[in-house]
Chains A and B, each alone.
Chain A
Amino acid sequence: MNLLALYCTHQTTPLAIRERLAFATPERLVAAYARLKDRFPGTESVVLSTCNRVELYVARPSDAEPLTPPLLAQFLSEFHDLPLDEFVGELRAATGSEAVRHLFEVISSLDSMVLGEPQIVNQVREAYRVAEAQGSCGSMAHALFQGAIRTSSRVRTETRLAEGKVSIASVAVGDFAKSIFDHFADKLVLVIGAGEMAEETLRYLKDEGVCDIVVVNRSPERAAKVAAEWGGRTAPWSDLNKWLGQADVIVSTTGADKPIVDAKLFKQVRTANPGRTAFILDLGAPRDFDTEVGKLDSVFLYDIDSLKKTCEENRKSRVREIDKARGIIDEETAKFMAEYYHRASGEVVSRLMQDWHGVSRDELDRLFNKLSHLNEKDREQIERTVERIVNKLLHPPLEALKVEAREGTPHGLINALKRLFGL
């Protein structure tokens, strides 16, 4: 199999190098395909470039000279105008079945920064789509990437690798807020402070349909920036209690060194809406809300520690699925390789059968011309007998070829058959 994968990932290469090797824009990607075609004619190629990895998959016909990692590294160096010695040590290469296995692991999210994350499937699909649009895919690339998509689908349905959320904001919104509220379009979200995690939480809340966001921060400039980014409005710090009394969802990330809201204050500000449910996500460290607030009826208070535990449990339960996922990948890799080798030896098999059956047909015609007294039934009997003889004679070499094909392309046997039978 003439397949090579050259790659650098978040596990092997620092971001500083990955971002220089990335094909960041669609235009750069199109240019890369054009350059690959120029440089390596007759080569199938697929480029996978994401924030966590840059990978090149190249395949050539079995009888063509194989591409080597240094050749592809040279291509990357020239294309990105980057000295070879700055990144060559960071690259990894895999060939044949190892390259197949690597792609299957990547698309199944075993190699992702967040184990089981779903985006990688779409990223690989997109890479395959672009390669196809650029005319860079042949039979090998099609088979490889379709096999990869099939594998990822099996891993996701037969294992729990993608189950459970693993980031604090996604757990808070997906596992808890959504179990409290039916819909978010009519909910008032109060953001206290304007940290990064608050913004991440806002992203998940926005996805759920949140429209009304109020940002309260000691620094009005920072509050205005966050509010503008997420389509919210700002309120002065002095109005905090007023908004605390009205909000349905409260996300707090202040840098205060002690709780800014205790149970007494919270009860007091909620007197106008005593039964109103409040979901509080306290992302401050130290905490912004006193733990007693969480004991109030209709208040659901979550802090980093309580969510971290859930994230960790989800992560662990995903890790427990790795072996199962690897088992599926092994199975799919073996299946892919067997199909590939079978295809490689298929041409010889069909030519051999054609030749032998051709010879037997000619001889039978000659015989029937001589024995014109034979009726249709007798002819049929003779034809069947000869066909059986040919099949029985062909069986041992073809069986040997089949057995050899399980281990790899049986080049030696194929050549021997070609020479022995003049194919």
Chain B
Amino acid sequence: MLKTTVVCFLASYALAFACELSQLKRRHALTRIISLLLAVAGLVAHTFYLLHRSKQAHLPPLLSSAHDWLLVVAWLAVLVYLFVTLADGELAMGLVIWPVILTLVITSRFVTDSPSYRLDYHRNWKMLHASMLGLGTTFVLLGFVLSLLYLWQHRRLKQRLMANGAVKLPNLELIERLNRWAILAAVPFQTFGIATGFGLSIFAKGGELPMTWTDPVVIGGAITGALMGVLFVWLLTQKRSPGRQVAMLTAWACGFLLVTMLGLQMLTAAVGMRSIHGSAPATTPEAAVEGRAP
């Protein structure tokens, strides 16, 4: 199997983002094609990297480490970007989503990448827990990106600015609808993910790291999850709320969730804080050999 490194796809994504930025000045079909090719090349390298890690750890990427979990979320975000870009190449989605993807990939270098050998028990439940949180986070990320697009377009329309020929933004009505769906999809996934996490901790068996109520990742996850839940209920109960208000709330809530999640993962890895997700030591020496975080 082709062995790739994080730098390979990080460089591809960074160049794709640079191409998107250059489109701001003058739209050119060639730059667009190069940008797409770079994104696809990055995605292929990204996929090989995750497969390689999975093979080495004998675990699915979602479960092996916080490093791999973040890379899976970034991988999903690149897929969404490619899908949207192929559907409508004129949309300026890349300008907003690439910084988020790059942040996820860079952050993954600063969180623990040691595989945690704790899959002796409840393997399926753990897989469900990680998948739900991964999907929920991807939808949160989408909601964040869509909210930023909404606020950008809203500002342009309020200030009566001429549409920049090089940047095409979706209309407000469409972004509002997609944003609502992103949140409505994110919250159930998040909630179910958190709930299964609590369940797994309560029913933890011997040899597993038990959950403590002072675990920063758990506390942060619970608070941001609750915040998203409030937003979810508010969206469902409001008959019709101003789009800008929804976008602002979504941007803040999703932004807060992403920052908290990434920040806490980095913090636990940096200070070696005891956390069920952040800094669990590898239980076999081989597991620690590959790709230790700097």
Please report A residues at the B interface, Cβ cutoff 8 Å.
Answer: 160, 163-164, 175-176, 178-183, 273-277, 294, 297-298, 300, 302, 306-307, 309-310, 313-314
Contacts and interface: CB of A to CB of B under 8 A. Distances in A.
Contacts of A314: 162
Contacts of B162: 164, 175, 310, 313-314
A179 B165 contact: no
A298 B240 CA distance: 11
A310 B160 contact: yes
Given A163-B165, A302-B160, A181 B173 contact: yes
Contact of B165 (A160, A276, A277): A160
B169 interface: yes
B153 interface: yes
Contact of B157 (A160, A163, A180, A183): A180
Given A182-B173, A183-B173, 13 more contacts: A179-B163, A180-B157, A181-B172, A273-B240, A275-B242, A276-B240, A294-B158, A297-B242, A298-B244, A300-B157, A306-B160, A310-B162, A314-B162
A176 B171 contact: no
B28 to A, nearest CB: 12
Contacts of A180: 157, 171-173
B153 to A, nearest CB: 6
B243 A275 contact: yes
A181 B244 contact: no
Nearest to B163: A175
Nearest to A279: B157
Contacts of B242: 274-275, 297-298
B174 interface: yes
Interface in B215-257: 238-245
Given A164-B165, A179-B156, A274 B240 contact: yes
Of residues B158, B163, B239, B245, which shows the largest number of chain A Cβ atoms within 10 Å of its Cβ?
A: B163
Contacts of A297: 242, 244-245
9 contacts: A163-B165, A176-B157, A179-B172, A180-B172, A181-B172, A182-B173, A274-B242, A275-B239, A310-B160
A317 to B, nearest CB: 9
Nearest to A175: B163
A307 B160 CA distance: 8
Contact of A179 (B171, B177, B239, B240): B171
Contacts of A164: 162, 165
B171 A178 contact: yes
Contacts of B240: 273-276
B174 to A, nearest CB: 4
Of residues B153, B162, B165, which shows the largest number of chain A Cβ atoms within 10 Å of its Cβ?
A: B162
A160 B174 CA distance: 28
Contacts of B174: 182
B27 to A, nearest CB: 10
Interface in B148-206: 153, 156-158, 160, 162-163, 165, 169, 171-174, 177
Contacts of A273: 240
Given A277-B173, A300-B158, A314-B162, A179 B244 contact: no
A312 B157 CA distance: 18
Contact of B243 (A163, A182, A277): A277
Contacts of B173: 180-183, 277
B157 to A, nearest CB: 5
Contacts of A274: 240, 242
Interface string B119-143: 0000000000000000000000000
Nearest to B246: A275
B160 A179 contact: no
